[in-house]
Structure 1
Amino acid sequence: MLQQLLETALRQTMNRLVRPMLHPAIPVPVQRRIIRQAYRSSFPPRGARFEETTLATVPATRATFGSDSRGAVLYLHGGGYIIGSSATHRGITGHLAKTSGCTVLTPDYRLAPEHPFPAALDDAEACWLALLEAGFRPEQIAVAGDSAGGGLALALAMRLRDRGQPLPSSLTVFSPWVDLTQEHLYAPEREPVLQAAWTSKAARLYAGDTPLSHPLVSPIFGDLGDLPPMLIQAGSEEILLNDAERLARKAAEADGDLRLEVYNSLWHVFQVHSGQLDRATAAMSRAGEHIRRHLAD
């Protein structure tokens, strides 16, 4: 009963405070400031530690939990490629550090509209190469991300594969945004977080002069073969549910190793409420299990 009440309260908070801020009429700099404050309700677990660092030339935050680390997770934050940062995602990355047993590194990749595609992807690739130069083997590194960061994680794996580079041990994507054309958005009865008009604006700002259907902008239009094992999590109350389900179908058609988990009555990137909402905590535990299972010793 208490968890049901908490779900209702969190849903109402997202709908009344976060969703109105994700409106295309609000300037991007204002949205960045407001969303930074909104993420204060996402708490890392007690005992998580954070340290500012740099990967290549990209500022980043290192999250750890406990004294031992099995490997590294390169975590790419969401925010429609126009907002968000490693600071806003300390809650989610702190919990992922706990459940995965890994060091989680979250880069502050360059954002649009100041830096349109392929700036974010170039930064993600530079961070991947920096981890290799630091001594991690590819099979000791997982890549994860939420929303736009989930799409960016896929684009990174596709670029590495196409360039003949070693691939990460696994991919974990929460509510991935993989089709920026928005031609197949889901229409849930309620959507507590996202507005289609806002994501449409963010897509245009990010893509710039590049077609929205470019496979490294919208990975659903690319070749999903020969990618690492993938875990996809999404909520049933989000306009990106079709993105997750289409991604799973297309990856399966390419004989990919994947698992899709849809959480009924939950919303976009509900994992930010790990440690508060039991189902979010359970989802994060499954994400950590997926990462641990595919890491090399």
Structure 2
Amino acid sequence: MISWQARALNLFLKQTVKRSIENTKDVNKLRFQMRALDKFVFGTSSNIERSQSMREGTLCDEIKLKFSNSKKKLLYVHGGAFVFKTPAIHNNFIARLAEPLDLHAIVPDYPLAPEYPFPAALDSCYVIYKSLLDAGTLPEDIIIAGDSAGGNIALSLLLRARRNGLPMPNCCVLISPVADMTQSGLSSVENRYSDALFSLDVMLYCRNLYLEGANHDLHNEEISPLFADFTGLPPFMFHAGSTELMRDDSTRLAEFMQAHGVETHLQVWREMPHVFPLFEQLPESKAALQQIVDFIKKQQN
């Protein structure tokens, strides 16, 4: 049985955000609605220090424990359907990861579509990963994570890094990642109405903005990393909700990665909304966060 908080959140998202943006063809309206949602966060711990920096031409939020000299880095690629951002929600979640793990988190404010379509966001995040290595950060001290569209970019980043001969990070955590731009998973149809946040029409609209209507091959591994060869990638953890549109992106990624010998941990949570670990009000979010912390600690031992 899911928590009453999760039931309330599902109802709130369906009746407000999803209803407001359903069938939208206006990216500014979508951004406005998500800015409103971004206000529903609690304050971060007083132990957390936040700042901003420019890394390889991209503004980044930097989140870490106060007075920490930890060498461990978390490169977190935020979600937002490739077209919007919710920095308060994301940075709050990342702070909840950084504190128990004593990580220095780097969150790129990568360029958004449609103003900057594919591959601008991927290019931006890739050069930041490369710069961490070039600056002397050991690959075993780097964790890559991302949610939703950020999960797509994070995984594509690793595939590009492997192709270019860069070392792999310690591990990777993906929350409800977008991995299949062809929408071939059963959940794209099965969960068309049960997804509490997005409709399929909105997802396809954002996909087309990201790809700028050009004749891209949707099976390109930097667009749909589900279709890549995963040999040699580091350990992965996935979290997804059973009733979200992109559930099968996670389940199939886990299946295909395991077939290529990648250590994979998958958790599909009953009736949880898209990227539910970011909503700290949920008991399920706290449980998922603890699983992520335990997974990362295990990989670093």
The match for 1:191 is 195
Q: In 1, Cα distance between the equivalents of 2:16 and 2:66?
A: 34
Residue 232 of structure 1 corresponds to 238
Matching residue of 1:50: 50
Which residue does 2:165 correspond to in 1?
164
Aligned twin of 2:115: 114
Q: Deviations over 1:244-294 (max 9, x none)?
A: 1110110011111110011112111001112x2111011011112222322
Q: Structure 1 CA distance, aligned partners of 2:49 and 2:150? A: 22
- Checking the alignment, whether the CA contact within 8 Å between 1:44 and 1:93 is kept in structure 2 is no
Matching residue of 1:126: 127
Greater shift in the superposed pair: 139-148 or 11-20: 11-20
CA spacing shift, 1:85–1:193, aligned 2, 3 Å: closer
Matched residues in 2 for 1:76 and 1:21: separation? 26
Corresponding residue for residue 206 of structure 2: 202
Partner of 1:143: 144
CA contact (8 A) 2:3 2:282 kept: no
Confirm whether residue 6 of structure 1 aligns to residue 5 of structure 2. yes
RMSD: 1.9
Matches of 1:133 and 1:160 in 2, distance apart?
13
2: distance between equivalents of 1:59 and 1:144? 18
Change beyond 3 A, Cα 1:281–1:45: farther
Deviates more, 1:66-75 or 1:9-18: 66-75
Conserved in 2, the CA contact under 8 Å of 1:72 and 1:140? yes
Q: Contact 2:21–2:29 at 8 Å: present in 1 too?
A: no
1:25, CA displacement in angstroms? Answer: 2.1
Q: 1:181 Cα shift?
A: 1.2
Over 3 Å counting, the alpha-carbon distance change for 1:50 and 1:177 in structure 2 is same
How far off is 1:129 after superposition? 1.9
User: Is the partner of 1:117 in helix, strand or coil?
Assistant: coil
Identity percentage of aligned residues: 30
Partner residue, 2:293 = 288
Structure 1, gaps ≥5 residues long: none
Residues 138-147 or 265-274, more deviating: 265-274
Q: Aligned to 1:233, what secondary structure does the other structure show?
A: strand
Structure 2 residue 241 is the aligned partner of structure 1 residue 242: no
User: Could you tell me whether the CA contact under 8 Å between 1:111 and 1:120 is conserved in 2?
Assistant: yes
Contact map agreement 2:257 2:264 (CA 8 A) in 1: yes
8 A Cα contact 1:203 1:212, kept in partner:
no
The alignment's TM-score, normalised by the length of structure 1, stands at 0.92
Per the alignment, in what secondary structure is the counterpart of residue 176 of structure 1? coil
- Alignment-derived partner of residue 276 in structure 2: 270
Change (3 A) 1:249 1:75: same
Amino acid of the residue matched to residue 229 of structure 1? P
AA matched with 1:255: G
Aligned to 2:15: 16
Give the 3 Å change call, closer, same or farther, for CA 40–65 of structure 1 in structure 2. farther
Question: Can you list the C-alpha shifts for 1:14-66, whole angstroms capped at 9, x where unaligned?
Answer: 11222124434241123223212202213354223321112211011011235
Q: 8 Å contact 2:39–2:88 — kept in the other structure?
A: no
